[in-house]
Chain A
C-alpha cells in the first residue's frame, strides 16, 4: 500500500518531468540546438494557468484541466517567439551561440515574471478536484492520477502525429538528416518553428500539471532545465523514449530513493548513478553507439 503510493507519486512527478524533457528533445531534433529557456517555458505555462484562473469568474471553481488549451496556446506562442528571436537569426552559427541566446531569453522571461507577478510561489486550480480515491487499499491522489492521465494523452497524441502524419514524417526526417530533408524539399524553417511551438507547449503543459500540486515561482526555471537536460542526456541524446526514461529515473530517485535514505543523499546518489551509467554506457540508456565513419 505504501509502495503503491510512492510509486504513484514517482510516476506523477516523472510524467511531468517527461513532458518537459520530451518538449526539449522535439526542439533539439529539429534544430540540433539546446533551448536553455525551456525551463522558463514550464514556468510560463504555470503562470499562464494562474493568470487564466484569475481572469475566470472566481465564484465558479473551474477545474484546471479546462485551462489546458489556453495554456498550450500561450506557451506555443511563446515558443514561436523564442524560435524567432533566439534561434532563426543565428541558426547557421555554432550551436553553442543558441545555448547563450536562449539563456538570455530565459533571463528575460524569469525576471519579467518576477517583476510583474511578484516573487511569491503561486498555485493553479486543481486539475480535476482534490482528495483521494481509494483503490486496493491505497489512497491515490486525484491530482497525481490526473497528471499521469493528461501526460499519457499528450504523449499518445504526439506519437500519433509523429508516426501517422506527413508533418510527423518530416519531423523525423529532419531529426535524422537536416541536409537531406532540405534537399527533399522539406521547409526547415517551418519545421523548426513548429518544433519550438510544440516543444514549448509541452513544457507549458507540464507547468500547468505541476502548478497546483507543487506550486510555481518565477525562479523555478533553472532547476527544471537542469532536470530536463539530465533526463535527455542520460536517456540518450535525441531519443524521445530515452528522455521519458531519464525523467522517470530522476523521479524515482527524488521520491523512491529519498523515502529510504534522505533528500540530500538521494540527490547525491542520482548524480553518482548518472556517472555510473555514463561510465558503462557512454551513449546513454537509449542512445545509438557512435560509430567511426569517416
Chain B
C-alpha cells in the first residue's frame, strides 16, 4: 500500500464514520451533493484531464441527464430503473452526435463549440415552456423509486448516491488502466506526433468524450432526485464553472483528486456563511489561495505522483510475457510524384523515390528543401495534394497516420516527441500496446544500451538520451520501414557514431531506413544511397559519391561558395 492509498482509505473511513454517526440531516445533504459532483468531476477528468481537451459541455451533459430524469419523473412518475439509464444514454448519444464535427477542433475552438452547444440547450430549456416548464422548471420530481421502493432523504439517499459514486469509481478505474493512461498522456503531450506511434487519437478522444457525457448524465439524474425539481440552472454555465473549478482544485487525474475537489468546493461556501454578504468574497480568496499554492491540484500536494496514473502501478515487473519478434517484417516504400503546397509555397513538387529492405537511404538538402515535409507526408501526418504512396505494395496515400504506423512504418522527429510525465519504459510499452503487441521494452532498450534509464521520467533526460529513447521507441515495434528525421542533430561525434552503427545493424536484419540529415560526415559511412532535395524536388538520387559530386547538388548546397 502506498502513501496515497493508505491516506485515501483513512480519509474514506473517517468520512464514513462522520456521515453515519455525526452528520446532521443538513450535513448529509451536503455530502450527498458532494457525491454527485464526484461523479461529474470523474467524468470531466476523462476529457479534460486525460484527453487534455477543454470541454465546456460537461455542464450541458449534466443538464441533459437532469432534464431526462426531470421530465420523465415529474410528468410520468417513471421508475429510477428506467430514467437513470436513459439519462446516461441520452447524454452519451448527444455527445456521439456532436462528436463528428466538434471533436476535430483544437484547443479553444473546441471549447467554444462545446460552449455554443451548451448555450443552445440552455435556450431550449428556458423557452420550450410546455415541455421543460420554462425558467421555473418542473417541480414534483419523485424521489429515487425502484419498483415501489421509495428512497427517503437523508442517510438512505446519501448511501445510495455514494454507492453509485463507488460504481463510477470502479468504472473510471477500469477505463483508465495504466496502459491507457499512458496512451492518453502521449496523445495529450505530443498531440501532433502521437498518430505516428500507432495511437488512434480520434478514438481516444471519442472514448473520453462519451465517458464524460455518460458520467455527466448520471450526475445530473441524481442531482434532480436530490432536489426534486429540475430547472435551467442545471444547464447553466455555473455548473460548468463549478465542475472545472473542482477538477483544477482537486486534481485533473485520479479518483482522489475528484473526491477532494468535489468535497471541498461543495462545503466551502457552507463554512463561510458567518461572513454574511461577504461570504463569497471569502470563498474566492480561499479558492485563489488553493490554486496558487496547489496549481496541479491539492491531490498533488497530499501525495505527489511521479506520473499521472494512480489507478494502477505501472507494469514495471510484468515484462516479457512473450519475446517480441526479432526479425522486422520486410517492407518497401514507394512514393510517386508527390506534391504538397502550403499556401503559395510548394513544399513538395513531384517527388518520386523508393527504397526497400536492407537499404539505408540518406536525404540531404538545404533548409526548406522539403525534407521534413517528405517525412510527414510519407508517414501520413500530412495529407498530400497529389501523388501516390505505397507501403509493401499497398496504396497508403492519405491513410491515417496511426494505421500506417501499425502497418510497420516507424519514425522519429527532429525535436524528440517525448511526453514529460512518462517513464522511458512506459513510453516504449505504450507504443507497443498501440501496435497490438505485448509490452516488452527491454530488447529495444538493450539495443540502444539505455536499459539503465528505463524507469527515468522522460523530462529528466539530456538531449542525447532523448534521441536514443525516440529511436528505441521506433524500433520496439519491429517496423519494416524506419524514417529518422535528423537523428544526429545536436549529438556529439561519439553519439553520432553510435546511431550510425545502430542503423547499420538494423538494416542488416532487413529494415529499410530513411535517414534525413544535414550532416554528410554522419550520413556518408552508413548510407547505401543518397538523395538530395532542393525546393521540394529531388535533384539527385544515387550512390553517395555520385550525389555529392553532382553539379546541381554542389550548386544547391554550396551555391554561395562555389559560384
Q: Is A in direct contact with B (CB under 8 Å) within the complex?
A: yes
B237 x A294 contact (CB < 8 A): no
Binds A, one of B87-95, B115-123, B209-217: B115-123
Q: Which of A108, A112, A226, A272 has the most CB of B within 10 A?
A: A108
A125 to B300, CA, bound (A): 50
Interface flags, A80-110, vs B, CB<8A=1, else 0: 0000011001100110110111011111100
Binds B, one of A47-55, A181-189, A195-203, A278-286: A278-286
B111 x A101 contact (CB < 8 A): no
Binds A, one of B318-326, B329-337, B411-419, B431-439: B411-419
B281 x A292 contact (CB < 8 A): no
Contact residue among B107, B117, B237, B296 (Cβ-Cβ distance under 8 Å from A275): B117
Contact residue among A226, A233, A278, A294 (Cβ-Cβ distance under 8 Å from B381): A294
Q: How many residues of A contact B (CB 8 A)?
A: 45
Interface flags, A110-140, vs B, CB<8A=1, else 0: 0110110000000000000000000000000
Query: Within the complex, what minimum Cβ distance (angstroms) separates A96 from chain B?
Result: 6
Interface flags, B104-137, vs A, CB<8A=1, else 0: 1111110111011101100100110000000000
Contact residue among B120, B192, B244, B292 (Cβ-Cβ distance under 8 Å from A292): B192
Query: Is B278 part of the binding interface, using a Cβ–Cβ cutoff of 8 Å?
Result: yes
A114 to B104, CA, bound (A): 41
Identity of the chain B residue whose Cβ is nearest the Cβ of A222 in the assembled complex: B237
Query: Within the complex, what minimum Cβ distance (angstroms) separates A124 from chain B?
Result: 23
Contacts of B252 in A (CB 8 A): 96
A237 to B105, CA, bound (A): 13
A278 to B105, CA, bound (A): 8
Contacts of B230 in A (CB 8 A): none
Known: A96-B54, A267-B123, A278-B105. A115 touches B115 (CB 8 A): no
A268 to B284, CA, bound (A): 32
Contacts of A96 in B (CB 8 A): 54, 248, 252
Contact residue among A93, A104, A230, A274 (Cβ-Cβ distance under 8 Å from B284): A104
Query: Is A252 part of the binding interface, using a Cβ–Cβ cutoff of 8 Å?
Result: no
Contacts of B192 in A (CB 8 A): 292-294
A218 to B415, CA, bound (A): 49
Contacts of B262 in A (CB 8 A): none
A94 to B111, CA, bound (A): 16
Q: How many residues of B contact A (CB 8 A)?
A: 51
Contacts of A294 in B (CB 8 A): 190, 192-193, 376, 381, 413-415, 417
A292 to B191, CA, bound (A): 10
Query: Is B206 part of the binding interface, using a Cβ–Cβ cutoff of 8 Å?
Result: no
B248 x A100 contact (CB < 8 A): yes
Query: Is A57 part of the binding interface, using a Cβ–Cβ cutoff of 8 Å?
Result: no
A94 x B295 contact (CB < 8 A): yes
Contact residue among A100, A103, A105, A233 (Cβ-Cβ distance under 8 Å from B111): A233
Identity of the chain A residue whose Cβ is nearest the Cβ of B292 in the assembled complex: A89
Contacts of B417 in A (CB 8 A): 294
Query: Is A234 part of the binding interface, using a Cβ–Cβ cutoff of 8 Å?
Result: yes
Query: Is B450 part of the binding interface, using a Cβ–Cβ cutoff of 8 Å?
Result: no
Q: Which of B117, B249, B281 has the most CB of A within 10 A?
A: B281
Main secondary structure of the interface of A (DSSP, over half): helix
Contact residue among A104, A112, A283, A293 (Cβ-Cβ distance under 8 Å from B287): A104
A100 x B120 contact (CB < 8 A): no
Contacts of A290 in B (CB 8 A): 106
B281 x A97 contact (CB < 8 A): no
Q: Which of B126, B284, B382 has the most CB of A within 10 A?
A: B284
A229 to B120, CA, bound (A): 16
A97 to B284, CA, bound (A): 14
Q: Which of A103, A222, A237 has the most CB of B within 10 A?
A: A103
Contacts of A90 in B (CB 8 A): 291-292, 295
Identity of the chain A residue whose Cβ is nearest the Cβ of B120 in the assembled complex: A271
Contacts of B107 in A (CB 8 A): 237
A104 x B288 contact (CB < 8 A): yes
Known: A115-B281, A233-B108. A275 touches B292 (CB 8 A): no
Query: Is B283 part of the binding interface, using a Cβ–Cβ cutoff of 8 Å?
Result: yes
Query: Is B101 part of the binding interface, using a Cβ–Cβ cutoff of 8 Å?
Result: yes
B278 x A111 contact (CB < 8 A): yes
Interface flags, B270-288, vs A, CB<8A=1, else 0: 0000000110110111011
User: What are 21 sample pairs from A and B whose C-beta atoms fall under 8 A apart?
Assistant: A90-B292, A96-B54, A101-B288, A103-B287, A107-B284, A111-B277, A112-B278, A112-B281, A115-B278, A222-B237, A233-B108, A237-B109, A271-B116, A272-B120, A274-B113, A278-B105, A278-B116, A279-B101, A282-B109, A293-B372, A294-B193
Q: Interface residues, chain A, CB within 8 Å of chain B?
A: 85-86, 89-90, 93-94, 96-97, 99-101, 103-108, 111-112, 114-115, 222, 226, 229-230, 233-234, 237, 264, 267-268, 271-272, 274-275, 278-279, 282-284, 290-294
